[in-house]
Amino acid sequence: MTTVPPRFLLTQLNLTCNLRCQHCHLWRNHDRDRQIDKWSELRLQAIREFAGLNPRGTVVSCSGEVLVEPRHYFDMCRVARESGLTSMSVLNGTLIETQEQADDLLVRGADEISLSLDHPREAIHDQQRGLRGSYRKTLRCLEMLLDARRRLGLPRKLYVMYLVSNVSYRDISEAYDLVLNQVGADKLKLNFLQPTFAQYHGKDTYWDLHTRNIDGQWLSEEIDRCEARHGLDFNPKWKENVKCYTDSLAAYHRGGPMVTSGELCDSFDRNILLEIDGQLRLCFHPEFPSLMRYQEPGDLRRFWYSEEVASLREKMRECRKFCGICHTFKRQPATREAARRILGVE
């Protein structure tokens, strides 16, 4: 099988966060960021090399909260822009407290900025994020970014990333109304809860508890209702994959295997993951380990086209882990427009 160029370079910029989100393990990591400065120049070199692999590619910050260490984030965005690449990031929004900071983020930050929202209601979002006041800070950040874009005229995309679990799935319509109608962001993206890659104490009890009793049929119908109400034009194959995920969850919680009934992920065909210490991977799951470390120019190409990675890629084609629904790894874009643009299909 011919290997196409990678579409995304996911760069791990730090392993820390100012929040204590229940669904995340990074803030529990005690071996924090000791490699961050040592590998910073190599990360920038890897971004430049990535532009040679795919001049139309996208660099994605894949970290804790990148604004905890803003210089590395802004360096990533700068080098990506200088190299003709698109950049994307997901932030929690709580560290942007002034309009001046929002203006600076819009000017120097990623081309596409998404802010995380766990629930359209303040108390539930704050409880999930582990910080009282985080809801108001996140929405205020979004409002300031939208204001900055109107004044500065920069072509930035401003989205909200909504985490879907049994706590939030019945409130999707309320979230769409908040994000699109009340605040005025460009898009709300649905990111379904998946197991963490480095499970705390060996078991992701949060994922297990918060994926129980999701009514998959109701959720599918609600997605259809939101599509009609907001003119969203969802990709039918993505909706099929959402149904696959929720049906597989129901089967798992009835005692079935911890796998989905179909393949949801194509990270192996589109992503290079560059970890904080330079390790190169196709996926963060420990079952698919790094096969080399980025040390010098040319390593990105050698990694992507190597025989060892090709063998690993073939093994991953049969993977049906629940993390395949993750927004970063899912093979089907959520909208028809994205499917046409990315996959070339109607």
Is 1 among the domain residues? no
- The count of structural domains within the chain is 1
The pLDDT of residue 286 is 87
- Residue 256 to residue 252: CA distance in whole angstroms: 4
Is 324 among the domain residues? yes
Is 2 among the domain residues? no
pLDDT in tens, the chain (346 residues): 568 999 999 999 988 899 988 888 776 665 455 556 777 889 999 999 999 999 999 999 988 899 998 999 999 999 999 999 999 999 999 999 999 999 999 999 999 999 999 999 999 999 999 999 999 999 999 999 999 999 999 999 999 999 999 999 999 999 999 999 999 999 999 999 998 876 545 678 899 999 999 999 999 999 999 999 999 999 999 999 999 999 999 999 999 999 999 999 999 999 999 998 899 999 988 889 999 999 999 999 999 999 999 999 999 999 999 999 998 899 999 999 988 988 776 6
The pLDDT of residue 29 is 63
Is 205 among the domain residues? yes
- Residue 98 to residue 194: CA distance in whole angstroms: 33
**Closest of 270, 289, 299 to residue 47, by C-alpha:** 299
Is 145 among the domain residues? yes
Residue 103 amino acid letter: D
The pLDDT of residue 25 is 72
Structural domain span for residue 119? 8-343
The pLDDT of residue 200 is 43
Is 3 among the domain residues? no
The pLDDT of residue 345 is 67
User: For position 282, which CATH number holds?
Assistant: 3.20.20.70
pTM of the full structure: 0.94
Is 35 among the domain residues? yes
Is 45 among the domain residues? yes
